[in-house]
Amino acid sequence: RLTVAEFNGKRILFMDGASQSTVMADTGESASPYIHGLEWAAAARPKAKSAFVIGLGGGGLVRGLQLSGLTVEAAELDPAVAAVARDYFGIDTKTRVTLGDGRAALGRGGPWDLLYLDAFGAESPPAHLFTREAFLSARAALRPGGAFAVNLVTAVDGRDDRAWLSVRRTLGEVFPHVRTFVGS
């Protein structure tokens, strides 16, 4: 169910046929615009020193944050995905990757300056990571003044905006400031 392919200078991780991570094959830098968008949370917190990423995938976000000088930990549910991230996508063996559910991992570490939720099974986000209780756990795992960035793949074209509007509303119940950005 995991496939790594390389073409046009890019290395891509496919999970159940869906693209999960894309990096430049020669440098390992993420080629996914949404990853660069998530990295902006670090720019908004220039004094940040640590980050926790829920959902490793190919590790493009982890690597990008590490290159900016942050100490980064990650949680990955699937041990095979973590192995592929190390073997094919250059995740350093010194990077602490907790194998298991990201929501449970929140309660066993931290606090962190930055927290990222970028977890998917194929193309569907795990619902238990997008609940009020999960967001409360995220808030508790952040240092004061920290930032929580969430990647959610959903339609935002006006036809069926319920999913992202629901997540935004739930985030607003837990965090005092919520900003939404649409990427491609």
| 21-57 residue pLDDT tens | 899 999 888 888 888 888 888 988 999 999 999 999 9
pLDDT exceeds 60 at position 126: yes
The CA-based dihedral angle spanning residues 38, 40, 44, 48, taken in that order and rounded to the nearest 10 degrees: 70
Residue 123 has pLDDT above 80, yes or no: no
Q: State the chain's mean pLDDT as an integer.
A: 89
Segment 129-144 shows an average pLDDT of 95
Specify the pTM: 0.90
Q: Is the dihedral of CA 46, 49, 55, 57 positive or negative?
A: positive
What residues pair up with 71 in beta bridges, in sequence order?
50
- Mean pLDDT computed over 114-131: 83
- Residue 149, both tokens: 């960035």
DSSP for 120-154, please give it. Answer: -BTTB--GGGGSHHHHHHHHHHEEEEEEEEE----
Q: Residues with Cβ < 8 Å from 176, sequence gap 6 or more?
A: none
Higher per-residue pLDDT: 60 or 160: 60
User: Which letter does DSSP use for residue 25 in this model?
Assistant: T
Phi/psi for 116 (5° steps) reads -125, 135
- Report pLDDT for 184: 61
